[in-house]
Amino acid sequence: MLAQLGRAAMLPLWSAQLLSGVKSFERNDIIGSRWLNEHGLHTTRVSLAHALANARRRRLAHLVSPADRESFERDGFVVRRDFLPSAQFAMLRDQIKNYRGPLREITEGDTVMRKIALDPATLAQLPSLDEVLRSPVWRGLIRYIGSRDAEPVVWIQSILQHAAVGPSDPQTAMHADTFHPTVKAWLFLTDVAEDSGPFTYVPGSHRLTPQRLEWERRMSVSARRSPNAENRQGSFRIEPRELRALGLPDPISLAVPANTLVVADTFGFHARGTSTRQSLRVEVWAYGRRSPFIPWTAFDFWTGAALARRSLLGFQLGDLSERLGLKPHRWRARRGVSAFDPA
Ligand SMILES: O=C(O)CCC(=O)C(=O)O
Ligand SMILES: [Fe+2]
């Protein structure tokens, strides 16, 4: 009885979330409804979000070069080698190497991840980053691929594979991040070898083909009861053998030298490649995600600084809820460590 009342009370919120980026099949009974998804709820959200993103992208197309636009349309990602002039890149890498301010660390499976939030105080100590954040190529690609004229959330991120004891890194399973077009960017600060966890992507998998839409429908029907937590949360995993049936090629590994920028639509299938040994990947990492059902490209009032403060606040709330005994906080605060230090 109480549970039913609780559900009734949640209905207005769950309904409103249909027109937002909320993707969990587990935490929203409407999004997760088997019956509604059999009758096209999920596929309607997917199709509408794609139509709107395509229209917004067309309006932002002038922000990128014709060559980059063509690469993106074909592959779902853009690769720019030698992104910064080499002296500037060396300066950026050295500044980040020498930075030992507060950062956060999490262990996911056998992988350790570090993140440095770029609030104004931190940015003041990393002045070379300005060159990246203000670059028209960086800004244009993130806006065009993300289909919004909006600032991304930016971090310095380190990925240390095989740095902990545990099951395999969950990011190494091929997946789509969410149900709508969305952008992530990596400016690699280390060389990324084929066998040390490169970003991998299935070229062309950003397109919403009839096969993909049918796959989305099938996945949505069973997502709520899936044994896989990521599927329940709406980041659908795909088995390599399913790619063929969707008319897709094998994934390619973006094993690239340092100073390469990669910007991708992570509705396309991607994964972190596995590493055969202990490895370290350091990058300036960005992601831009806004409500997928907004028809316009502009009117986003989040500044980079406000987004960084929001990230830091999230960490502090996590710390607080641990202190109150509500939930352990998985992002540990660390000091005196560089993004480049071993685990
Ligand atoms: O780190 C990577 O190579 C990809 C991880 C991933 O799946 C993501 O950032 O969405
Ligand atoms: Fe992902």
Task: From first to last of the 343 residues of the chain, give the pLDDT tens digit.
Answer: 777 888 888 899 999 999 999 999 999 999 999 999 999 999 999 999 999 999 999 999 999 999 999 999 999 999 999 999 999 999 999 999 999 999 999 998 889 999 999 999 999 999 999 889 999 999 999 999 999 999 999 999 999 998 888 888 888 899 999 999 999 999 999 999 999 899 999 999 999 999 999 999 999 999 999 999 999 999 999 998 999 999 999 999 999 999 999 999 999 999 999 888 889 999 999 999 889 999 999 888 899 999 999 999 999 999 999 999 998 899 999 999 999 998 8
**Does any ligand 1 atom lie closer than 6 A to the CB of residue 161?**
no
* Inter-residue contact 166 to 107 (CB < 8 Å): yes
How many C-beta neighbours within 10 Å does residue 100 have? 14
**Does any ligand 1 atom lie closer than 6 A to the CB of residue 272?**
yes
Fold classified for 27-291+301-334: Jelly Rolls (2.60.120)
Q: How far is the CA of 7 from the centre of ligand 2 (A)?
A: 31
DSSP 172: G
Q: Ramachandran region of residue 162, left (φ > 0), alpha (ψ -120 to 50) or beta?
A: left
Atom 10, ligand 1: residue with shortest CA distance: 177
Atom 9, ligand 1: residue with shortest CA distance: 184
DSSP 262: E
* Inter-residue contact 62 to 303 (CB < 8 Å): no
How is the chain split into domains, by residue range?
A: 27-291+301-334
- Note the pTM of the prediction, 2 decimals: 0.94
**Does any ligand 1 atom lie closer than 6 A to the CB of residue 105?**
no
DSSP assignment string, 279-299: EEEEEEEEEE---TT---S--
Q: What is the pLDDT of residue 268?
A: 98
State how far the Cα of 117 lies from the Cα of 134, in Å rounded to an integer.
17
In angstroms, what CA-CA distances link 186 with 74, 76, 137, 209, 242? Answer: 19, 14, 13, 27, 27
* 245 Cβ neighbours under 8 A, 6+ residues apart: 211
Q: How far is the CA of 270 from the centre of ligand 2 (A)?
A: 6
Helices (H), the chain: 2-17, 34-38, 41-60, 66-75, 86-98, 120-125, 129-133, 136-146, 210-222, 229-232, 240-245, 304-323
The secondary element (H helix, E strand) that includes residue 154 is strand 153-161
In the block, tokens 């249909």 appear at 18
Nearest ligand 1 atom, CA 159: 1
How many C-beta neighbours within 10 Å does residue 120 have? 11
Q: How far is the CA of 67 from the centre of ligand 1 (A)?
A: 25
| β-bridge mates for residue 157, sequence order | 115, 283
Q: How far is the CA of 327 from the centre of ligand 2 (A)?
A: 25
